Amino acid sequence: MNLQQAKEYAKVNVKNRPDTLGRLAGSLAVVTGSAQGFGLGIAKALSSEGASVVIADLPMQEEAAQAVVDELGGRSFFCSVDVSNEESVKAMVCTAVERLGGLDIMISNAGVLKAGSLADMDAKTFEFVNKVNYTGYFLCAKYASEIMKAQFEADRLKWSDIIQINSKSGLTGSKNNFAYAGGKFGGIGLTQSFALELAPYQIKVNAVCPGNYYEGPLWADPEKGLFVQYLQAGKVPGAKTIDDVRNHYLSLSPIRRGCTPEDVAKAIFYCVEQGYETGQAIPVTGGQVMLG
SS3 245: helix
From the candidates 9, 134, 143, 180, give the one annotated as an active-site residue: 180
Backbone angles phi, psi at 225, to 5 degrees: -65, 165
CA dihedral 95, 96, 98, 102 (to 10 degrees): -150
Backbone angles phi, psi at 160, to 5 degrees: -135, 165
Rg (CA), the chain: 19
129-146 per-residue burial string, b: 16 or more CB within 10 A, e: under 16: bbbbbbbbbbbbbebbbb
Is 180 part of the annotated catalytic residue set?
Answer: yes
Which helix (DSSP H) or strand (DSSP E) does residue 210 occupy?
strand 203-210
Count the alpha carbons within 13 Å of 135 in the hemisphere toward its beta carbon: 15
> How far apart, in Å, are the Cα atoms of 161 and each of 21, 35, 118, 149?
19, 21, 36, 11
Which residues are the active-site residues?
Answer: 180
